[in-house]
Amino acid sequence: MKTIVTLFALSLLAGRATAQLFTAQTTETSFFSKAPLEDISAINRKIGVVMNTSTGDIAVKMQMTDFSFPNKLMQEHFNENYLESDKYPTATFRGKIQELIDFTKPGSYPVTVKGTFDLHGVKKERTLPGTVTVQAGKIALTSEFTVALADHRIEIPKLVFQKIAEVISVKNTWALVPYQRQ
């Protein structure tokens, strides 16, 4: 009888231990480009992230219209002409962490993530650097990389008074918590 109760309790615990999915709690993805007249920068705090800690698989999805610019006219042009958000509403990344990380041990681990980056309807294989920081019940993911606009067929108009850089830098800071199924 006692054994059964213990087994039952253990089975419940085992169930908990198998919750290997982590999902976004707070996120921040921003990009920046130096420009002579007015720097171009935008920030998106509504990034969807899911990570499977047992396999290292990671999926990221964001709505382009959630990027907020200090200059709203620029934001409108970003969506209307550069990213064509009506046609290509989201950007996604589907990849795998290459290193084996013990997600039960707190600490900071440099990682590389290999996968497919889909932006403006153009898919590109990328290997991106990042850092995984494991804390009690939380995982922090940070990553900085650059995106060449030409790689994703994002046109820079010839007729602009404001010269736009061909490569922009992107920065991600995401906090993940165990996934709760609704």
Does the protein bind another protein through residue 142 (CB under 8 A)? Answer: no
- Nearest of 174, 145, 150 to residue 164 by alpha carbon: 150
In the complex, the smallest distance separating the C-beta of residue 117 from another protein, rounded to whole angstroms, is 13
Placement of tokens 């999805």 in the chain = 61
CA distance 53 to 20: 5
Does the protein bind another protein through residue 28 (CB under 8 A)? Answer: yes
For another protein, the closer of residues 140 and 164 by Cβ is 164
Does the protein bind another protein through residue 32 (CB under 8 A)? Answer: yes
Does the protein bind another protein through residue 176 (CB under 8 A)? Answer: no
Positions 42 through 81 that interact with another protein (CB under 8 A) = 42-43, 48-52, 57-61, 65, 68-74, 76-77, 79-81
Does the protein bind another protein through residue 180 (CB under 8 A)? Answer: no
Does the protein bind another protein through residue 133 (CB under 8 A)? Answer: no
CA distance 31 to 42: 6
Positions 82 through 111 that interact with another protein (CB under 8 A) = 86, 89, 92, 94
**Token duo for residue 14:** 């085992």
Q: Which residues contact 110 (CB under 8 A, 6 or more apart)?
A: 99, 129, 130, 131
Does the protein bind another protein through residue 116 (CB under 8 A)? Answer: no
Does the protein bind another protein through residue 181 (CB under 8 A)? Answer: yes
Does the protein bind another protein through residue 177 (CB under 8 A)? Answer: no
Q: Residue 157: how many CA atoms within 13 Å on its side-chain side?
A: 9
CA distance 147 to 57: 22
3-state SS, 54-106, equals CCCEEEEEEEHHHCECCCHHHHHHHHHHHCCCCCCCEEEEEEEECCCCCCCCC
Contact residues for another protein (CB under 8 A)? Answer: 1, 4-5, 7-8, 11-12, 14-16, 18-21, 23, 28, 30-32, 37-38, 41-43, 48-52, 57-61, 65, 68-74, 76-77, 79-81, 86, 89, 92, 94, 144, 155, 157, 159-162, 164, 169, 171, 179, 181
